[in-house]
C-alpha cells in the first residue's frame, strides 16, 4: 500500500513515524521475578564487559523469562550467540529448576559449529547459572563463565532484548491457551527468528546466515 501511494521509507524511518503517532507496541511490564541472585553459591566476575565481539561462538548470553498461559506460567531459558544473534539453545518448562533450564546450554554445546573456538557463557547471577550442574557443564566443554556484577540490566542487555523480541514480535508475550501451545509457538518463533528475520545490525542478514 505504501508503494502504491508513492511512499518510500526504510525500517528506521517507519519506526520513527509510528513512534510519532503513538502506534508502536508498548512492552509489557515484568511482574514475575526470574532471577534469584541472593544465594550462597559462587558468583563469577564479568569478563565480557569491555570485550570486542569479533566472531561467532566467542560469547553466548543467557537469560530466563516467563510465558503466561491459561494453565499457568512456563519458563523459557534462551542461549544466544552475541556475534550472530542466533538463538543456539533453548529450554521451556513448568519450573525454573536447574535440571530443565540447563537443557538450553546443553543444546547449544552439542550443536556447536566451531568447537575449536574458545567460548564464554555470560548471564546474570541467578542460582541456575551458579549451580554446580551448570558450572560442571561449562568445565566439561572448557567454557569460561562470566556474570553480571552490579544488578545493571545493561550488563546482560542482549539476552534481555532477545526475550522482548520473541514476546513482542512473535506473539509469545500474549497469554497463551496452554503450556503445550507455548512449547510449539516457542519452537516456531525461534526457527523464524533464526532463519527468516534479517537484522539491520547484521547488514540485513539473518542470524543463521551470520553464524
What's the chain's average pLDDT? 87
Least confident of 118-122, 147-151, 185-189: 147-151
Torsion sign, CA atoms 124, 128, 165, 88: positive
pLDDT in tens, 40-87: 468 899 999 999 999 999 999 999 999 999 999 999 999 999 999 999
pTM above 0.75, yes or no: yes
The rounded distance, in Å, linking the Cα atoms of 146 and 48 is 7
Quote the CA–CA distance of 159 and 4 in Å, as a whole number.
39
pLDDT digits (tens, 9 = 90+) for 118-136: 999 999 888 889 999 999 9
| Residue 190 confidence (pLDDT) | 97
* Most confident range, picked from 7-11, 16-20, 63-67: 63-67
User: Which three-class secondary structure state does DSSP give residue 91?
Assistant: strand
Where in the chain are the domains? 11-210
CATH hierarchy code of domain 11-210: 3.30.420.10
Amino acid at each position: 500500500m505504501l508503494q502504491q501511494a508513492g511512499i518510500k521509507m526504510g525500517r528506521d524511518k517507519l519506526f520513527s513515524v509510528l513512534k510519532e503517532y503513538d502506534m508502536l507496541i508498548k512492552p509489557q511490564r515484568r511482574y514475575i521475578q526470574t532471577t534469584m541472585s541472593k544465594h550462597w553459591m559462587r558468583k563469577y566476575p564479568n569478563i565480557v564487559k569491555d570485550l570486542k565481539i569479533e566472531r561467532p561462538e566467542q560469547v553466548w548470553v543467557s537469560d530466563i523469562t516467563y510465558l503466561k498461559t491459561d494453565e499457568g506460567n512456563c519458563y523459557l531459558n534462551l542461549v544466544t550467540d552475541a556475534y550472530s544473534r542466533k538463538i543456539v539453545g533453548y529450554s521451556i518448562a513448568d519450573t525454573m529448576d536447574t535440571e530443565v533450564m540447563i537443557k538450553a546450554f546443553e543444546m547449544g554445546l552439542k550443536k556447536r559449529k566451531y568447537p575449536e573456538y574458545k567460548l564464554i557463557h555470560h548471564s546474570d547471577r541467578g542460582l541456575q547459572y551458579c549451580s554446580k550442574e551448570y558450572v560442571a557443564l561449562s568445565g566439561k566443554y572448557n567454557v569460561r563463565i562470566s556474570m553480571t556484577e552490579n544488578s545493571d540490566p545493561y550488563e546482560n542487555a542482549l539476552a534481555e532484548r532477545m526475550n522482548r523480541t520473541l514476546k513482542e514480535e512473535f506473539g509469545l508475550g500474549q497469554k497463551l491457551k496452554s503450556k503445550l501451545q507455548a512449547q510449539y509457538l516457542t519452537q516456531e518463533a525461534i526457527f523464524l527468528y533464526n532463519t527468516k528475520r534479517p537484522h539491520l545490525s547484521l547488514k540485513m542478514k539473518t542470524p543463521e546466515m551470520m553464524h
